[in-house]
Amino acid sequence: MLRSGLVCPAIICLAAASVAAQAPQGGRGRGLDPGVERLRAFDPAAVERGRAAFGEKCSACHRANARGGEGFTGPDLIRSVLVLQDANGQQISTHLQAAHKPTIALTPPDTSDIGTFLHREITYAAERTNYQLQFAMTGSAKAGETYFNGAGGCSRCHSATGDFKGIGSRHDGPTLQALIAFGTMGGGRGRGEPGGGSRTARRATVTLPSGETFTGVLVRLTDFDVTIRDDVGTPRSWLRSGNVPKVEVTDPLQGHIDLLAKYKDSDIHDLAAYLATLK
Amino acid sequence: MMLSLGLIVLPIALLAQRTDSQSAAAYPDAWPAHYGDHSGRRYSPLAQINATNVKTLSLAWIHRATAQEGDNVGGEYKAGDPYYWGGPQSTVTIKATPLMVNGVLYFAAPDHAYAIDARTGRAIWHYFWRTRGGIHIGNRGVGMYGNMLFFETPDCYLVSLDAATGKERWHKEIADVRQQYFCTPAPIIIGRHVIVGIGGDSLDVQGYLEAYEPETGERQWRWYTTPQKKGESGSETWPDEYSMTHGGGMTWLPPTYDAELNLLYIATGNPNPVFAPQSRQGDNLYTCALVALNPDTGKMAWYFQTSPHDTHDWDSAQVPVLIDGQIDGRPRKLVAQAARNGYYFLIDRTNGQSITTVPYVDFMNWSLGVNAKGQPINNPAKDAAVDGVLVSPGSATNWPPPSFSPKTGLLYVGTSQSYSLQYLTDTDERPEGYGGGNVIPGGGGREGYIKALDYRTGKVRWRHALSEGGAMGLLTTAGDLLFGGDGSGNFVAYNPSTGDPIWHAGLAANPSNAPITFMLDGRQFVVVGAGDSLYAFTLAR
């Protein structure tokens, strides 16, 4: 089946091309992913017409997904240099009308739609931030419940009848797995996060040489300075030298971090299956 | 006065006549090649700035690079053309390592090349390239031969400029942006060869490395990173010609070079399709490998594959650092790499034989261990799956270059003990592109460090925890200093023996390139890029 979804679930977005392959050094802001824009630029109706026309006229040789392969005489059109070098369907149209062997009877609108369909498929393959997960739950809810209340220690912070009530209705499987593993997914994307944890929700207690202490949300901690926002919202910062002033950090995600090197994949799958039952 | 000026300027002026491999190491006051010299060590013998006086290191100037059109404009874009896979950017991030030759800094950003006065940070010229597209993720810098500069554009042209004026001399298309290639490397000059790599792993194209004649721009050779036909060396590690000629293996990290052996060391990128390996069973040579090539012919002398049959987007595009060391009491010519897959590799650079392979991350679950050749064994249970697998490291490091100090015998690397959930999204018998991907933590699970590795054993001698980040560009000097970042916007001088920070400056952005150092008028400078600006530091007087 061809993939038709344009975007992945709201929180689960595959790491950006840049992160995966040639990671940026230092911070990097991201607006709307240009790949999303490129995919959205395709007229969905034209893509579907093209898919249908391709299925009728071309798939016997090129396969319905245009990739060719074993048992098909036509080449892979997703990797076709002719198609990749095409601009606005013009080269594809010229080729189909004049050079394609065997000759093929296509109306100009069909040709245009097929070009749109092929470019959309190529764009989908190239824009990995938009891949649609084919996730299927494979874990055991019962084993997940046991892990939740036992070896995982999840119940120390979370409750099936408290903060996790209805969590299975709020999130799909991949989102649940990300929340299980990391406690948060790229915080600030606008979805509720169980456990209320994000990297910026770490808390810190700063103890000055005088013994005076200040506690609040940790904003920034380096070798040279520390900033917290106290409980009335006032930012406070101090310069640091060595371990002066002393800074003690508590991370609500520590339980998640501690499990990362211990998980079997089946633990995560089981936990997701269990949480999915909490409707 | 004139005499001393002459003594200082003369060698650099000579250098400008021939900025190639032989001269690069001979002029420590300059930074004439991407890594300073071609060893990849990023170690400077300069010691005016040192552990004793570094606390007086002060800002000399800031240069903010503009993303506007420059004095000189080139490019193949024609009005009305579509942009392929990317377009012009409104901002600049400096990831390039600048060159400093004859008092001028030369650097680049996607679609831009710049020359500025190294003493003052004032602009000299600016060249702007009108792009046809390509992913504008970064540019690692320029190469220089005599008065000629060379840089690559995101739409994969090699552009040669006159170093004095920034006027274009010629440009050549080195890869087809329409096939989703994009180009980021800094060209490396070896003799009369401009060594040029390419990038782009989104659409299963093939990787290659090329050499061009600096004067004319004529291509001298092309070395494909994958075999082209059945029967060729390495073809036995692919199922068929179709998979090997769509098998990736990009060359996006500038190579290093040993002049005595006349060997170029290129670290190749990941195979394609990236996370969906069902159409490319086998080791997939020569992707994710360290390969030694003759720079005159492009012929391979040896290879060592650091991630056979990579299924995790490891790339191996981390700097091959050339170390002249001692193993078991004998002097050896070595090449070391702290790879993105979490392993440290030490290899005899004369023949490619493994000496040491050892993890430098605390936890690793994608590998079943190391085989008799010193290569990691992929754990197929950790290949991307439809229901997700948790893989560590997510990315132990990346392209930002490490540094090796012969004074301490330590290789310094910015690293991250990270995790990712990896999903297979393309289950077709012929997957395309990445075919899957990472879900990475937004919070915990990505702890970063600078680690100092004993080059002989790979053992971690010390680590310094970072509050943010991991991979970073590093520089060591004979002044007993290690320069780098901290992931929180500070440029830091660390003690290379302990990792303790001893000086820092807060910048407007995180350091985004690798720092360099040079001497001008008797004063040592350290220059680092952060965001759209270069910052220069020198001792207060």
Tokens coding A20: 């995966």
Q: Which residue of B has its CA nearest to A259?
A: B445
Q: Which residue of B has its CA nearest to A132?
A: B425
Handedness of CA B496, B499, B500, B505 (dihedral sign): positive
Optimal mutation site among A128, A180, A198, interface B, most CBs of chain B within 10 A: A128
Tokens coding B264: 């170029």
Residue A195 confidence (pLDDT) above 50: no
Q: B2-539 is classed in which CATH architecture?
A: 8 Propeller (2.140)
Complex ipTM: 0.92
Answer yes or no: do B432 and A19 touch at CB < 8 A: no
Give me the pLDDT at residue A194, please: 33
Give me the pLDDT at residue B11, please: 36
Answer yes or no: do B512 and A25 touch at CB < 8 A: yes
Q: What is the pLDDT of residues A233-270, one digit of tens each?
A: 999 999 999 999 999 999 988 999 999 999 999 999 99
What is the average pLDDT across A172-194? 66
Give me the pLDDT at residue B203, please: 93
Measured distance CA(B422)–CA(B313) in Å, rounded: 10
Residue A7 confidence (pLDDT) above 90: no
Query: Which amino acid, one-letter code, is at A71?
Result: G
Measured distance CA(A88)–CA(B178) in Å, rounded: 12
**Which distant-in-sequence residues (6+ apart) come within 8 Å of B175 by Cβ?**
B156, B181, B183, B198, B200
Chain B interface includes A135 (CB < 8 A): yes
Bridge partners, residue B305, by sequence: B289
Chain A interface includes B443 (CB < 8 A): yes
Measured distance CA(B175)–CA(A147) in Å, rounded: 52
Cβ A247 vs Cβ A221: under 8 Å: yes
Catalytic residue among B155, B201, B283, B313: B313
Chain A interface includes B432 (CB < 8 A): yes
Q: Which residue of B has its CA nearest to A65?
A: B428
**pLDDT, one tens digit for every residue, chain B (541 residues):** 222 222 233 333 444 444 444 455 667 899 999 999 999 999 999 999 999 999 999 999 999 999 988 789 999 999 988 899 999 999 999 999 999 999 999 999 999 999 999 999 999 999 999 999 999 999 999 999 999 999 999 999 999 999 999 999 999 999 999 999 999 999 999 999 999 999 999 999 999 999 999 999 999 999 999 999 999 999 999 999 999 999 999 999 999 999 999 999 999 999 999 999 999 999 999 999 999 999 999 999 999 999 999 999 999 999 999 999 999 999 999 999 999 999 999 999 999 999 999 999 999 999 999 999 999 999 999 999 999 999 999 899 999 999 999 999 999 999 999 899 999 999 999 999 999 988 877 655 678 999 999 999 999 999 999 988 899 999 999 999 999 999 999 999 999 999 999 999 999 999 999 999 999 999 999 999 999 999 999 999 8
Give me the pLDDT at residue A30, please: 39
Chain A interface includes B387 (CB < 8 A): yes
Give me the pLDDT at residue A189, please: 28
Provide the whole-model pTM. Answer: 0.93
By DSSP bridging, strand B123-130 and strand B72-75 are parallel
Cβ-Cβ pairs closer than 8 A, A with B, add up to: 229
How many CA atoms lie within 13 Å of A133's alpha carbon, on the beta-carbon side? 27
Q: In chain A, what are the domain boundaries?
A: 17-130, 141-197+255-276, 203-250
What is the average pLDDT across A67-80? 95
CATH class (in words) of the domain with range A203-250: mainly beta
Chain B interface includes A227 (CB < 8 A): no
What is the average pLDDT across A219-236? 95
Chain B interface includes A72 (CB < 8 A): no
Structure letter (DSSP) for residue B37: B
What is the average pLDDT across A193-198? 37
Cβ A128 vs Cβ B433: under 8 Å: yes
Give me the pLDDT at residue B20, please: 47
What is the average pLDDT across A110-136? 92
Q: In chain B, what are the domain boundaries?
A: 2-539
Nearest chain B Cα distance for residue A232, angstroms? 24
Q: What is the pLDDT of residues A17-59, one digit of tens each?
A: 333 456 544 333 335 567 778 888 899 999 999 999 999 999 9
Q: Please tell me whether the peptide bond between B273 and the residue prior to it is cis, using omega within 30 degrees of 0.
A: yes
**Can B313 be counted among the known catalytic residues?**
yes
Q: Which of B93, B442, B509 sits opposite A199 (nearest CB)?
A: B442
Q: Please tell me whether the peptide bond between A102 and the residue prior to it is cis, using omega within 30 degrees of 0.
A: yes
Q: What is the pLDDT of residues B223-246, one digit of tens each?
A: 999 999 999 999 999 999 999 999
Chain A interface includes B471 (CB < 8 A): yes
List B residues 98-127 in contact with A (Cβ-Cβ < 8 A). Answer: none
CATH 1.10.760.10 fits A17-130, yes or no: yes
